[in-house]
Structure 1
């Protein structure tokens, strides 16, 4: 809890005590894993142009835990994957069938209005290997990213969320109607509990095993 009258945001507070946040998460980049990811096999990734690989970052476990905790507690999803924004937490929701032609999907993603250079967070289902990549790489690799597993994409603004359900439905919610700092507040509480009680396992972490 911030002291009464403090003008610092939750994000600024977390930065001060040097836990992971969106300001320093890129410091937790790791080498390309030697396993399959939502971008395919290691060989698939290695075959990408260097210009594209420079716009994709794999993350260590600490950063991965942060992203999953943050996403869960920010309440981006308020329903099942086939109706992720059920409680109208986003003012506008659009959807498209991923069974459409790839070029139609790419055009639809392009028309979401997110700058190519914007870094976004990609969370596959089951806690497997979240990544950071530019929106341009989301569009370039959409056929691989949105294929067999549920995937969500968002950024630190909390103002939009792209949600792919593995039954070939993709949803895009924009203009979040909830408090954008809820996620930070909840993550801060979890971090404090884990420091105070070394054996403490938050239910969200239990679910990601």
Structure 2
């Protein structure tokens, strides 16, 4: 209710000023026509016309600025309810997860079914999901393009993971990295179930 009244205050002020100028114009017309004081009447009429033009320009400027300000409110972002505002560029992917296995940081763990065939040569660790931890079942170098469920150790992984919650963690490396040496080092320092 109060905001509706406040919205009409500029119109009220403009109307009041316009009424004052109109009365002034009528007074000038009275002087010019009735009192026959043409010099003073003409001067008063010109002043009132000039005041109407100035008032009209002021009103147009005020209305234009008000319109632009109200139009600009459309582009204001909605209030955010959370710790961080959403990005105007869209949603970002979840940050990568890592798990430490014997001093090495593997990316993952992921569900075994989701990562059955990694896209490049990697060192992988097969994990069995326990209540709040993981048991390391195997660590291997995936050089051939076989899927993980076609690997030699797959029956052992299935047999030794009683919860049937197989997970996979990947250790990616660059071409100049000695992967075979790293796998042997990991296998010798990490305790795991499926040894061949």
Tell me the TM-score normalised to structure 2 length. Answer: 0.21
Higher relative contact order (CA 8 A, sep 6+): 1
Whose helix proportion is higher, 1 or 2?
2
Tell me the TM-score normalised to structure 1 length. Answer: 0.20
Structure number, greater radius of gyration:
2
